[in-house]
Structure 1
Amino acid sequence: MPFAAITYDIKPGYEKELTEIFANFRRVRSSQVRDEAGEAAGTILATAVFLRDDTLVRVIEYTGDLEAVARHMASQPGVREVEAKLKPYLTRPRDTDTVEGFMATFRRSLLNTVAQISVRDLQGAAG
């Protein structure tokens, strides 16, 4: 299963506040991702958030089309709520108030994948 990671440039010294924002995160309504035509386009399997100094990273494990996953996330109330709550702590503003702004920000914040290794990949190759 692929992973994607997006970064947030944040003000250092707000670890407690940022941890609280994510601790109260409202999960997405559905992990099933649909494309703009309503067809199945993937699944969000897991997310994790990491924080150190002035960098926050959200990691997403998913199946399917990453663009559809990002569009799905853009419309989720919990994601929109977190993005709004993060605004005071950002050193670089993120235009995430609209789906189009979220998508552009997602693409700009996406880290390049260097390597992905999973025991699941090995199990599938052995069979």
Structure 2
Amino acid sequence: MADLLESPDDDLYAAIGEYLVQKSVGARPPTRSQIIARGKEWASKFHAEFHKALCESKLVGYARNNPSGTAIILAAVASTLTKLNAIDVESEGGDKALMSLAALIVKVGIDKYCGPGKPNKGAKRRDG
């Protein structure tokens, strides 16, 4: 997981773009810049949906307040994004695209991505 967080953003957008491109049929293969642009356009198109889901997620809120760190936050973000069904993780490249999207968001930082006090700052765990 650490490798994803250290990857250049363009590589992460390329993983998303490659997932999207392999699902479409075209006359000729796109260039790397076209693949990156496709990934960025797609992420931008669904930004509001991702933002709402992540910034209202109790799971992400708990992870954000967990002292275990970035790996827990990355897993919580990926889990929350999976529930949106925006990326089919069972199809070729889907898991890599999902984790790349999660890494892009975590690299920004949940506090910065969601704004102060979100998601669920100070959320308490409910046991049993």
* TM-score, length-scaled by structure 2: 0.33
Which structure shows the bigger proportion of residues in strand conformation? 1
Structure that is richer in helix per residue: 2
